[in-house]
Amino acid sequence: MSAFEAPTSEAELLDRAQEALAERLPPGWDLSLVREPRTAGDRPDAVGEVVTPDGVTSLMLIEVKSNVDSRDVRSICNQFARYIGRQPDSTGMVVARYLSPQVRQRLAEAGLSYVDATGNVRVTLSRPGLFLSDHGADSDPWRGPGRPRGSLKGAPAAKVVRTLVDFDRAWPMRQLVETARVSTGAAYRVVQFLQEEDLVVKESSLVRAPDWERLLRRWSQDYEFAGTNRTTRWLAPRGLDRLLERAASSDVEYAVTGTIAAAEWAAYAPARSAMIYTPAPSAAAAAWDLRPAEAGANVVLGEPESDVVFARTRRAAAGGFQLVAPTQVAVDLLTGPGRNPAEAEELIGWMTRNESSWRQ
């Protein structure tokens, strides 16, 4: 079977996994896979044995899955807990047609190895000591046009995510739709995707995000300040402090994000530039005495894709200029250049320690 053809059975998936592992094992190491009978009950689909040149062996208990969503990882972990409980010296491995980056991350966090048919490989053994890692596809190459891949791109997703993260509560769908200010259909589509990613749970028809940080980080994979919004670069010739003074006294709609905003809660380093959302960049530039610039620019104005960036804004304690919410600052920094991701981690750390002060 060609490496570019979709495997059509569990047997083909196992064959491809065995080939992928054999190609990556150190010289002299050996691997054999034995498929378990379907009538075996609560047992893994296959057992792999890794043998070193000096005869040290390790057992891998293997589950074969055609499709794995993030929400499936918990039940897979429970399966392996039972299997490994009966064979304590073994390790668990998932073999699948395709594993998304989110699923691979969750499997690795759970201490499970994996192989998919696109070449994504991660194997960890403690005895004998072995670590294998290789990168395959980051999108499903066999997903047909009738099954569009979900994501958190777009204004409805941003509004639903911000609502779920900004508020510490369980939501009836009607209230979630009203608060997020999205259509009912869009809200249901976003929530369904979040369920598939195991980022929200539904309990008695209520929707809740049990781990706001993981949801925020997942959103940052599909949202970025410069990539999602139309941005222009400017020079504030009299410096950032004077810019912020003019912004605070102007009638232009705006909200500051990035390093300057993060300093309100978790200062990391002095700001060298300003990141500001405004739906009217030309009017803002005129009111704030900004000059168009590429080289030497110290201001980036973002014309927002969605007005959610202005949801739950607040005034800076010093200076009185408008700030986006901490959640928006965090996602903007996570996807920014230079030291921005480190600033995001500092802010997220503060948010974790002070959750009651920013979640409503």
Task: Report the SS3 class of residue 133.
Answer: strand
Structure token pair of residue 248: 């605070």
Residues in contact with 345: Cβ distance below 8 Å, sequence separation at least 6, in sequence order: none
Q: Model's pTM, two decimal places?
A: 0.68
Locate all alpha helices (DSSP H) within 87-145, ordered by sequence.
Answer: 101-109
- 33, amino acid identity: L
* CA 3 from centre of chain: 28
pLDDT of residue 72: 87
pLDDT of residue 144: 57
Inter-residue contact 222 to 153 (CB < 8 Å): yes
* Cβ neighbours around 35 below 10 Å, total: 15
pLDDT of residue 198: 87
d(CA 284, CA 252): 6
Residues in contact with 326: Cβ distance below 8 Å, sequence separation at least 6, in sequence order: 265, 347, 351, 358
Residues in contact with 44: Cβ distance below 8 Å, sequence separation at least 6, in sequence order: 36, 61, 62, 63, 79, 83
Task: Report the SS3 class of residue 51.
Answer: strand
User: Would you give per-residue pLDDT tens digits along the chain (360 residues)?
Assistant: 445 577 878 888 888 888 889 889 999 999 988 887 655 567 898 999 999 999 899 999 999 988 888 888 888 999 999 999 998 889 999 999 899 888 999 899 999 999 998 889 999 998 888 999 999 888 888 775 444 456 899 999 999 999 999 999 999 999 999 999 999 888 988 998 998 888 999 888 899 999 999 999 999 999 999 999 999 999 999 999 999 999 999 999 999 999 999 999 998 888 999 999 999 999 999 999 999 997 889 999 999 999 999 999 999 999 999 999 999 999 999 999 999 999 999 999 999 999 999 998
Which domains occur in the chain, in start order?
Answer: 10-134 (3.40.1350), 155-221 (1.10.10.10), 225-357 (3.30.460)
- What is the residue-wise DSSP string for 233-282? EEE-TT-HHHHHHHHHTS-S--EEEHHHHHTTT---S--SSEEEE-S-HH
pLDDT of residue 4: 59
Q: Which residues on adjacent β-strands are paired with residue 321?
A: none
Residues in contact with 338: Cβ distance below 8 Å, sequence separation at least 6, in sequence order: none
